[in-house]
Amino acid sequence: MDERFEDDHVGDLMVTVTKNNSHRKTQSYSQHVGIPPVQRHNTGRKHSLDEGGITKNIDRFYDDSSDEDLYPPYGYVGRINSGGSAGERPEYLSDFLEGHYSDSSGELRRSSLPEFISSGGGKGIFKLPIRAAIHPGRPPGLELRPHPLRETQVGGFLRTIACTETQLWAGHESGLRFWNFSDVYAQGCGVGGRARRGDEETAPFYESAPTVPTICLVVDAGNRLIWTGHKDGKVRSWKMDQPLDGDPFKEGLNWHAHRGPVLSMVMSSYGDLWTGGEGGVIKIWPSESIEKSQSLTVEERHMAALLVERSYIDLKSQVTVNGVCSISGSDVKYLLLDNARSKIWSAGQLSFALWDARTRELLKVFNVDGQIENRVDLSSWQDSSVEDEIKMKFVSTTKKEKSQFSFLQRSRNALMGAADAVRRAAAKGAFGEEKRTEALVLTIDGMIWTGCSNGLIVQWDGNGNRLQDFQHHSSSVQCFCTSGARIWVGYVSGTIQVLDLEGKLLGGWVAHSCPVIKMAVGAGYVFTLANHGGIRGWSIKSPSPLDNILRSELASKELKYRRLENVKILTGTWNVGQGRASHDSLISWLGSAATDVGIVAVGLQEVEMGAGFLAMSAAKETVGLEGSSIGQWWLDTIGKTLDEGSTFERVGSRQLAGLLIAVWVRTSLRPHVGDVDAAAVPCGFGRAIGNKGAVGLRMRVHDRVMCFVNCHFAAHLEAVNRRNADFDHVYRTMVFTRANAAAVGVSSATQLLRATNPVGAHSEDGRPELSEADMVVFLGDFNYRLHGISYDEARDFVSQRCFDWLRERDQLRAEMKAGKVFQGMREGIIRFPPTYKFERHQAGLGGYDSSEKKRIPAWCDRILYRDSRLASVSECSLECPVVSSIVQYEACMDVTDSDHKPVRCIFFVDIAHVDESIKRMEFGEIMESNETIRSMLEELYDVPETIVSTNNIILQNQDTSILRITNKSMKDKAMFEIICVGQSTVKEDGQASEHLPRGSFPRWLEVTPAAGIIKPGQIAEVSVHHEEFHSLEEFVDGVAQNWWCEDTRDKEVILVVNVRGSCTIDRRSHRIRVRHCFPSNSLRIDSKSSDSRRFQGNVLHRADFRHLSSSCDVADDLRYLQSP
């Protein structure tokens, strides 16, 4: 907007698009002066001013020098076909634009009206949002599931995601779905394809049969299962290897786990499934019962659910003594496995509990500050001190004394219960809101990281000791994930950050326009799930030089995935003065002009007024209610005028006292319009009452954000500064939230997840929400008057249609020119009479106010806008995605139902957007074919060379063997993780039977640490320990009933040591056999020398046992060991 033309006479700031267009004098009253109209759909309508005389010298008013420099702004015909070097394009580009340009009206764009541009735009809070083919402020992302419109996701919002080695699974409100990583670059099904609305551009996926909402899910790689927890309290299993026949896949085992929803899940190192629910309930579903149920035949499968359902262990009841529970009663929102130490972390919002995964014992309870909550000691308190005190004071123990002692016990229990209630209240926001835990994760070095609602990130060791904290962002942490030596953090603001294991910030960017609620790592990407249901993938190497190369390559292919659309928008404003309109008036104002428009936005003022109504409206706003019967009448009546239900659909509305705004969308355009949000800002009586103020609607149209704001500012001639202040207040403080559910067709059930941690009024850089829109339209009764002119003079100028002279006296134009209000916004040149003030039901010039006050006519009712243009002349592109022009701006002077005349403005809007499906295919082609990128990605498969000290271990009599893992690389760290993949029993002849698949350690085996980091050239030592476990309690309905005797036959398991680099997706594996021999069988083993010799060479004997250290220098005697 630096290129402005300022006329010496009137100071109008005008825009020009091309010099070879003639200077057209098009305006709303052009038919009266013999000028061809811009666009006329109501040629039969007769204006009230037709009764007034028209001077024969009217042409000289339009030939005035003030209009000599009025040029049509941006126009499609001039933009594409204009001559000169600036307008020339290669033939292939013209063909492309013709093939990808969509005009909703089916007509060519006609000439546009000249516009006036306000000063002060393009800077500060009025700076335009950054738009580009590839966002310059973040790495290029893989759009696995592009942002779906909210209205298409009713009952199907995604809530959680998790990755297996080959798939990405997502749980949503009506089931599950998964993507194969082999299909992540594939094209979507498109509009009208087999996918539901909102998934037209999503990569191909497979969906389950309908279920109740999924809340959490966990990957069970050993059993090739996905476990999900649901809102109905059930746990369900799903096979990873689903038949891909196109039909919805079905669940396997399922059982009722909790009375309320299953809030969290985790699979322990020993195969137990832990689930967390409301009220601090934690249940364990033993691996033995799960394995047994999985082994049942099809005929016996009906018993499987009952078998598992009755086998649970209720940890909360086990740690409750004398009515006092040792753990918090708040909801168990998070469960985390520390596989390095075989521990389980359970967390509410303000406290943690640490459990032994093998013995299921409670180890520690502590709060978010790291302070130990000694509730375990309190629960086991034997009142010995109380007894001593009683004995000192009283000689005998009478019934009265016993009752007093009993009273003390009851009092203590009551106090403990009250304290627990306080903790539950605190978890719900009464206290400690800023310390609330929102996420936690385990890193490869064995540290636990938690994220808080104030953006604080806290590091803990494996024993629950708080080490240090970091603050890299001010908004709430929502989720974590780890990839090698990196920690990824997702925030409620939509930002993600990358940290190293020391907590140092490596990079960050805005990943989504709303909260990032879940993250998962797979196939070399970190996938982020946004609150709106979109999923993006980011390279695990980001930020890195690869980002710049990929950004450049993708930008060079813009023409392949850019799409251009066109939408015609009708906007109207009317101060109805507490009256009601006739059908003819609405037809004249809206119906006649809406024949070929795609969107209709209507703003009304003074729908209903009066002190009692305003007070009631303010009271309703405080409890989240809005609307009135009169407002509903207007919505219904306008809807009938627009043929709502057949031709148009109302997508949103908002009422604040007498202010009402509503938007209708043509049914053919409806699939491309959504995410409707509403806002209201009162400006009257101390910014508290809605007699003055603004209401707004925000929506996405072809993936671009548009806002419509209906305003009513301070009245009276002298209140210019108050009106300016009203606009500034509205612009800065307008915050959009979910629109009325009935209006937008969204059920309230889907609001639970999206209501948590709402984004504030401003974006991260402090800019108002209106600043982030691609197009903003302000309409309403702004109440700016004509100054320095008398009533009679104004009427004389109006009677002669000398509107250019009247514009000299317009307060709004003067304030806009000075950059004091509506900074950077545009308005079509006014060619219609002032719209205020009239006597009701009086036509013609005689309708102007003839009372004693004789209010000076004024253009109170206006429509202004701002699009994406940075300069006066800009083409529609992905860098400037919304370019608009005004093709009609006029008042309906024949409408006499109010003291104001209704005003309408028709915009012709070009919209550039991305075909995400095509872009994703181009993304994949670049990743697979670009040699530079391929060479950089080879680092993802560079795994440090490691060796293990043995491939075979024999344990007996609680032996401990030391497994040494050596990192032979001298420059790269090695990340290792030990898992169990199979188990078998040893036959009489010493041979192991066939190994059965297993994804967890047997209870007789302890491997510590089971994960860790090995520095270059160093050794990690792992303890492989046999633990006596001769019997196992069997629980029925949470109560221990039986004991299983441990099988005394020798057993053998296969351990796999998986080794990765600090930032790699590939891995190398070492297989290790561990045999457990009972003492009674040791002689038999020794006698079988041939079998024994198979192990003797690599077994570390008891003489080699020693205490562990985390790592040590490479031993000389291991120097020549080779990798298996």
Residue 431 carries which side chain, given as an amino acid letter?
Answer: F
Residue 90 pLDDT exceeds 50: no
Residue 499 pLDDT exceeds 90: yes
Q: Which residue has 């009208």 as its token pair?
A: 192
Span 325-337, average pLDDT? 93
Contacts of 549 (CB under 8 A, 6+ apart): 930, 932, 933, 936
Sign of CA dihedral 1106, 1112, 1116, 1122: positive
User: Which strands sit side by side in the sheet containing 264-267, from one edge to the other?
Assistant: 264-267, 273-276, 282-285, 313-314
Q: Strands 535-539 and 142-145: what pairing?
A: antiparallel
- Stated length of the chain: 1124
Residue 276 pLDDT exceeds 60: yes
The C-alpha torsion from 662 through 668 and 672 to 676, rounded to 10°, is: 20
Q: CB atoms < 10 A from the CB of 806, how many?
A: 21
Residue 553 pLDDT exceeds 50: yes
**Percentage of the chain modeled with pLDDT above 70:** 75
**Percentage of the chain modeled with pLDDT above 90:** 58
Residue 295 pLDDT exceeds 60: yes
CA 653, CA 631: separation in Å to the nearest integer? 10
Omega of the bond leading into 881 within 30 degrees of 0 (cis): no
User: Of 636-650, 827-841, 1102-1116, which range is least confident?
Assistant: 1102-1116
Higher pLDDT, 181 or 987: 181
Query: Which residues lie across from 708 on neighbouring strands?
Result: 697, 777
Q: Are 152 and 200 in contact (CB under 8 A)?
A: no
Residue 409's pLDDT is what? 57
Q: What is the pLDDT of residues 889-921, one digit of tens each?
A: 999 999 999 999 999 999 999 999 999 999 999
Residue 697's pLDDT is what? 97
**What pTM was computed for the model?**
0.81
Report residue 118's pLDDT band, with 50, 70 and 90 as the boundaries. Answer: very high
Q: Please work out, in degrees rounded to the nearest 5, the angle formed at the alpha carbon of residue 620 by the alpha carbons of 615 and 624.
A: 150
Q: Are 139 and 548 in contact (CB under 8 A)?
A: no
Query: Which residues lie across from 362 on neighbouring strands?
Result: 355
Sign of CA dihedral 352, 353, 358, 360: negative
Q: What letter would DSSP give residue 933?
A: H
Q: What is the pLDDT of residues 830-864, one digit of tens each?
A: 999 999 999 998 887 778 988 888 899 999 999 99
Residue 83's pLDDT is what? 33
Identify the CA nearest to 569 among candidates 701, 745, 738.
Answer: 701
Q: Are 158 and 535 in contact (CB under 8 A)?
A: yes
Report residue 58's pLDDT band, with 50, 70 and 90 as the boundaries. Answer: very low
Residue 120 pLDDT exceeds 90: yes
Residue 395's pLDDT is what? 39
CA 650, CA 670: separation in Å to the nearest integer? 10
Identify the CA nearest to 1012 among candidates 297, 435, 501.
Answer: 501
Residue 634 pLDDT exceeds 70: yes
Q: What is the pLDDT of residues 342-376, one digit of tens each?
A: 999 999 989 999 999 999 999 999 999 999 886 54
Residue 789 pLDDT exceeds 70: yes
CA 707, CA 692: separation in Å to the nearest integer? 19
Scanning 467-608, the segments in alpha helix (DSSP H) are 545-556, 558-561, 583-589
Residue 631's pLDDT is what? 94
Report residue 313's pLDDT band, with 50, 70 and 90 as the boundaries. Answer: very high
Residue 1084's pLDDT is what? 43
Span 589-605, average pLDDT? 95
Residue 990's pLDDT is what? 64
Q: What is the pLDDT of residues 1014-1049, one digit of tens each?
A: 999 999 999 999 887 655 566 666 666 555 555 567
The token pair that represents 1103 in the structure block: 């003489």
Q: CB atoms < 10 A from the CB of 929, how many?
A: 10
Q: What is the pLDDT of residues 790-846, one digit of tens each?
A: 999 999 999 888 888 899 999 999 999 999 999 999 999 999 999 999 999 888 777
Higher pLDDT, 1079 or 733: 733
Higher pLDDT, 255 or 398: 255
Residue 1008 pLDDT exceeds 80: yes
End-to-end CA distance of the chain, in Å? Answer: 69
Contacts of 39 (CB under 8 A, 6+ apart): 110, 887, 888, 906
The torsion angles phi and psi of 400, rounded to 5 degrees, stand at -65, -40
CA dist list (Å): 524 to 163, 184, 1065: 11, 12, 6
Q: What is the pLDDT of residues 690-703, one digit of tens each?
A: 899 999 999 999 99
Report residue 1092's pLDDT band, with 50, 70 and 90 as the boundaries. Answer: very low
- Average pLDDT over the chain, rounded to an integer: 80
Residue 16 pLDDT exceeds 70: no
Residue 79 carries which side chain, given as an amino acid letter?
Answer: R
Residue 348 carries which side chain, given as an amino acid letter?
Answer: G
CA 499, CA 502: separation in Å to the nearest integer? 8
